[in-house]
Structure 1
Amino acid sequence: MPDHNKQILDKNGKPLKLRRKILSVQDLKVLFTEFKSLDIKVSFSDVISIVSSVIALFAVFISLQANFVAKQVATSDFQAVEQVKSETAQLISVLRALMIKGIVYSQQDKSKRDNPKYERFVDTTPERDQIEAFMHSPTALAYYSYIAKRSKNAREARVKREEWRAFFLQLAELRQISNPWLAARAAAKLEKLFDDLGDQQIKEIASNLNDLPRAISILFAEREHDVLVQVMVNPEDEPINDDNFIDFVKFLRENKEIDDPDLDIFWAASSRDADLAQTALSRGARVNIRSHEIIERYKSYVSEFEQVQDTE
């Protein structure tokens, strides 16, 4: 009867040490080579037993790995990241589809291409509906919080041009453009914003989606850094999109020909002019400007403005 307690020695007469790990095929070959060099007889049943043990260990390892992956996929963080990735990719696909349709439109007969009954009529309604859906999604709210934070960081760093500030303004404008060629150009401009959007930024946006109460809190707390919200909603004053105030801004810009980026940012928000908003921001327009500040700054023109209003 073989002595199972007998220590196995290697070719140099030293105890053979078996590593406690999952054995690979190469490990088995080395082990059997050691056995062979020591002239140790290994029965077929012993080989089957060893192989069965190795397979069992592999099965346990794979099961543990699968369980880990399943738990990882089930986490809310993972699902939030995947949702942001999916809906962002869908939006970019919509922008690209608009670009392609714009090219098709540009190659059509100018006398026929705007007629809905034209057999090759380019309809961008599906893409514009997708943009509308994105703007109503929870992912959009996550983007709002992300953009507000970017705007705040840019302001603190004294960076005048932060193109993401006008993202939703451009998106809303694109939603309204029915001309395929104009829509294509607007889509191409929007797509460039995603050039610097990497995994880290996606995770940051997803963190807002994963915790919506926190995202909403951040959004409201940093409202003053969101150029779109700031110029349209002011909790301390009368709503600054009031017709009289916007008319006053128009009067200053057109009648008095005053060149002021702060006036431009109000007018851009009112008229949904994304290009004007970008230009105003690059020229130093304040994102937290108040309507009463504009009125105070140009109070010498108020009486003249009121007279013009009375005559109209």
Structure 2
Amino acid sequence: MRIIRYIEDSHVVLAAMTDDRTIYPLPFADLMDVVREAKKNQLSVFCYIQTIISGKQGVKKELAELHLLVPIVAPEVWASGVTYEKSRDARNYETSEKIDGQETCYDRVYHAERPEIFLKSTAARTVGPNDPVYLRSDSNWQIPEPELGLVITGEGEIVGYTIGNDMSCRDIEGENPLYLPQAKIWKHSCAIGPAIRLAETVEDPYNLQIICRIYRNDQLVVEESANTRQLKRRYDELVSFLLRDNKVFDGTVLLTGTCIVPPNQFTLEDGDRIEIEVPEIGVLSNPVKSPVKQTIANK
């Protein structure tokens, strides 16, 4: 079962989508409201939703016909770095600090007990499906980072999984790791969606395929895939470090790191389109916009 949010007649609708793709509106504004009510009724979220939609008629529309929003307005989006070997190798390639034959900071964090966790985005900076992600104006080497996202409560319970695009500037981080916030955080630099798959309906979260496709002028220019079984760390481990001496809000999303990195010579351009697919969740699609052209268009 998946949770979505969409606009209908100027109203935001929270809905459940069953595996036969039938969509049932829910009498709640937010998934976290559903989670809290399920706990009050001593039911799992899935079972509680089943009691709500039982005997009801679904919406007579296909998912593609809906104006989808972010599936949850996450107060914060956090991200994990260098959790896959591919990510470590990419960071080592781009850094100007690497010394042949010696460990870099990325080598060390890959093997360390403490993972790399950083604040990626806030609700105001995060976009949903089909909304544009922006390029940063002072970077010449930018890529999407397709990631599985954990939707968690303030206590760290994983209630669902979503797709995240952790837009990144390889040249800025490569120049100096201390520039990480600037390489990761700017307006529309994070996308999540199109749905949240309830955690209890996922058979094995360590066996999810992630596919990234990038189109330029309607032509496929990048297509790569990987699997969450390649993840070095466990989800509960990452969540536990996020919670250490930290205030975490209900509905926070924690991105678990990327296992897909486009070819080193590739950089995103204005007009590209990024698709990130996890079959159990859906396809997160976003056009790419230049901040300069976007500013002119808004005048």
Q: TM-score range by the shorter chain?
A: under 0.3
TM-score (norm 1): 0.24
Larger Rg: 1
TM-score (norm 2): 0.24
Flag the structure with higher strand content.
2
